[in-house]
Amino acid sequence: MTSSGSGQDSREPSADAAAVVSDLLEESPPPGEFERLRELLLGEERRALDAARARIAELERTQDNLSQRLPGALEALADEASTTRVANALAAPVSQALGAAVQRNRQSLIDVLFPIIGPLIRKSIAEALRNLVADLNGAIESSFTLRGLKWRVEAWRAGVPYAQVVLKHRLAYAIDHVFLIERDSGLVLHHEAAPGLPELDKDAIAGMLTALGDFVGDSVGREGGGTLESVRVGEHLVWMLHGPRANLACFIRGVPPQALHGLLEQRLEEIHARLAAAADEDPRTPQNQTIWHEALQPPALIQEAGRSAESEQRKSPSRWPLLLIVLVLAALLFAFLLSRERWQARVDDLRGKLEAHPGFVLNGIEAKPWSRLVVHGLLDPDAAPLAPLLDASAFGGVEPKLDATGYLSTDDAVVERRAQRLLQPPAGVRIAVKDGALNLSGAAPQAWLDTATERAGWIAGVARVASTLTPEIDPVATARAELQRLVREFPSTQVGFLDDATPADDAANAVDTIAREARRAIELAKIGKVRVRLTCVGANTEVGSGQTNQRLRAARAQWLALALAARGVGGTDGGALATDGDAGLNRRVAYLRLTVEDTP
């Protein structure tokens, strides 16, 4: 209706306008005609324009007063819905305006907030310090108790600071909610809450937890069948324990002990045992609710978890294998160190002996325990051999090797060995070296004495020679020389005769002398290692016949033999003395002839 009416109105002015335009083209119109033409052509628009202007003016007038009217308008918001609507409408621009204001003028914001934040911060710090002091007090108090000592031992065994153990034991935690949730539907089978907590929509929370678990499981644990086990937000921790028919969700504040998790697992297993035993029964029956309540009430869980933790600490069965391993390792370490110590002690002992060994300068010992040992040094050829010393050192099957370079030592012992080697002294000679002085003493053959005296001063390491050597005496030669003298002297000791066989008055003295000399000759023969023959020789003057003289000489020789025999002088072989005659002497005497024969 409205649209058709307006169409007719628009068509009528258009026809009039056409007539007016035609008239204008034919003649000049009077001034009033222009106004009429304008009214015909633009009247509608002019009226609309005037209305718009009036509206704008009204709006501007209204806006001018807005700042005055706005507080009143806001105060006039009576109902909550209107207030909420205005608040929602203002939220975004106010937030943006605040951000811009903060960026442009931070100081003003600081000035405003400082009086508020300062006390809040001080209060927070004071509260934290109070808690810290309480913890320190607890730690100090516990330090001198049996429990404190146990914690110290625990810290020592675990290798963590004592403070950490104290905090672990003193940390309080609380269980806010425990949900027993039907696995499939996510509906709450039972709910326990700590006293004093506000009411919450437990069904919605249980449902969302189940949905989150499904979401996480399907999103990240699809292949491994993983489940959402725990969620941590700030100091709050949610443990999710899953069973075939029901899940447990435990809302915890603080740091719970692991024993609590084990206890919750145990409780969930017990619940499933109950559910399995009464499979046809509704798990929400009052009887079941009572059972769930006893199993899941937070104070009882905390108490039981505390007991379990202490019990586990008391038992600590798994500590023994660890202790045993530690002991074995310690024993092995001790054995290793002892073995190293023994090896080192033996090396040190060998080093000491080598350093004290004359004629050897130790440069070093290259030792690898129970594997290799090489001795490096300088060795004089005249030094005592090192092999016995090395062989005597026990290195557990490791054969010491010697890496030695030759040199000349001036050590007294080595110089003495060198003098021994070069001089080769006879048995009666003693060689000693002290402070570079070569001392020669004893007796030696003259030939050796001559050689030694010449060579001694040239021996390396000998600074001077001191000799007390004497020529050596040969008893054999001396005895033989004495025998030769006796051989010469025996004929001069004669026994005189008055007539044929009558000895002179001093014959006895002569016989005694001859007998003494004869015994001495026999002794000398033993020393001189020769045989002697004693022969009694008779002599006579040339008066008388030849036969008579011969008989006379024999008689006188016989008389002497008998006289000597009477004095204990026999033949050299122990038999009777031989007799002989000396026809050329021409005297009435008898004497003893000594003949020396070499031992066959």
Using CB under 8 A, list all residues that contact other proteins: 182-188, 200-201, 203-205, 207-208, 211-212, 214-215, 218-219, 284
CB of 220 to other proteins, least distance (A): 12
In whole angstroms, what is the distance from residue 351 CA to residue 347 CA? 6
Which alpha helices (H) appear in 105-145, and where do they start and end?
106-143
- Separation between Cα atoms, residue 86 and residue 92, nearest integer Å: 11
Q: How far is the CB of 34 from other proteins (least distance, A)?
A: 51
Choice between 186 and 538, CB closer to other proteins:
186
Nearer to other proteins, 228 or 271 (CB): 228
Give the nearer residue to other proteins in terms of CB position, either 249 or 495.
249
- The answer to whether 296 touches 274, Cβ cutoff 8 Å, is no
Nearer to other proteins (CB atom), residue 79 or residue 218: 218
- What's 474's DSSP letter? -
- On whether the CB atoms of residues 542 and 597 are closer than 8 A, the answer is no
Tell me the closest approach of the beta carbon of residue 4 to other proteins, in angstroms: 23
Taking the least distance from each CB to other proteins, the nearer of 215 and 336 is 215
Contact at 8 Å (CB) between 508 and 552?
A: no
Helix-helix angle 106-143:162-170, to 10 degrees: 100
**Nearer Cβ to other proteins, position 71 or 198?**
198
Q: Which is nearer to other proteins, 218 or 435 (CB)?
A: 218
Of 183 and 353, the one with the shorter C-beta distance to other proteins is 183
Give 457's DSSP letter: G
Are 380 and 415 in contact by the 8 Å Cβ rule? The answer is no
Q: Where do we find the tokens 């005895």?
A: 479
Q: Least distance (Å) from other proteins to the CB of residue 214?
A: 4
Cβ pair 497, 589 in contact under 8 A? yes
User: How many whole angstroms separate alpha carbon 585 and alpha carbon 541?
Assistant: 8
Shortest distance, CB of residue 297 to other proteins, whole angstroms? 21
Q: Closer to other proteins at the Cβ: 214 or 450?
A: 214
SS (H, E, C) 382-395: CCCCCHHHHHHCCC
Task: Answer for the pair 181, 187: CB distance below 8 angstroms, yes or no.
Answer: yes
**Cβ nearer to other proteins, comparing 186 with 257:** 186
Residue 592's CB is within 10 A of a number of other CB atoms, namely 28
CA distances from 380 to 327, 377, 386 (A): 52, 10, 11
List CB contacts of 191: < 8 A, sequence separation 6 or more: 177, 178, 179, 180, 202, 206
Q: Shortest Cβ distance from residue 206 to other proteins (Å)?
A: 8
* Shortest distance, position 330 Cβ to other proteins, whole Å: 55
Q: Is 289 left (phi over 0), alpha (psi -120 to 50) or beta?
A: alpha
- Least distance to other proteins from the beta carbon of 88, Å? 15
Within 8 A by CB and 6+ apart from 389, the residues are: 350, 353, 354, 357
Mapping DSSP to helix (H, G, I), strand (E, B) and coil, where does residue 584 land? coil
Name the minimum Å distance from CB 270 to other proteins.
23
Contact 405, 379 (CB under 8 A): yes
CB 235 to other proteins: min, Å:
21
